[in-house]
Amino acid sequence: DAKTTQPPSMDCAEGRAANLPCNHSTISGNEYVYWYRQIHSQGPQYIIHGLKNNETNEMASLIITEDRKSSTLILPHATLRDTAVYYCIVRVANNAGNMLTFGGGTRLMVKP
């Protein structure tokens, strides 16, 4: 699975959009981009995934560049409860299961 690079930490003001970048310059054509987050003392939580098109769900939007070498997770109106570590993961979509390779993630601090 391709390696990802994320900033170790970011701050965001409550109510503003949080834009979390991820670099995956070695991504292959059959690899998806996934985002999970982990709130303190809880297990990771799935947020969103995509292949090459931008995706949106009730939690977030995922913007993938045309060359697929980077992506941005957008939380449109961050709240204090969005304070968490956000993990960007790249992996092949096959039937081999959810054996996810987590990196260090980005620690997002949402401030009032």
Partner 1 sequence: DTGVSQNPRHKITKRGQNVTFRCDPISEHNRLYWYRQTLGQGPEFLTYFQNEAQLEKSRLLSDRFSAERPKGSFSTLEIQRTEQGDSAMYLCASSLDGPATTEAFFGQGTRLTVV
Q: Please identify, using beta-carbon distances, which residue of 17 and 93 lies nearer to partner 1.
A: 93
According to DSSP, the residues that pair with 90 across neighbouring strands are 33
What backbone phi and psi angles, to 5 degrees, belong to 70? -155, 165
Residue among 109, 66, 73 at smallest CA distance from 88: 73
Q: Please identify, using beta-carbon distances, which residue of 24 and 91 lies nearer to partner 1.
A: 91
Shortest CB 62 distance to partner 1, Å? 13
Shortest CB 75 distance to partner 1, Å? 18
Shortest CB 108 distance to partner 1, Å? 15
Those residues whose C-beta lies under 8 Å from the C-beta of residue 18, and which sit 6 or more positions away, are 10, 12, 73, 74, 75, 78, 82, 108, 110
Is the torsion defined by CA of 14, 10, 44, 24 positive or negative? positive
Q: Please identify, using beta-carbon distances, which residue of 14 and 55 lies nearer to partner 1.
A: 55
Shortest CB 89 distance to partner 1, Å? 9
Q: Catalog residues that contact partner 1 under the rule CB under 8 A.
A: 32, 41-46, 49, 85, 87, 91-105
Q: Please identify, using beta-carbon distances, which residue of 60 and 105 lies nearer to partner 1.
A: 105
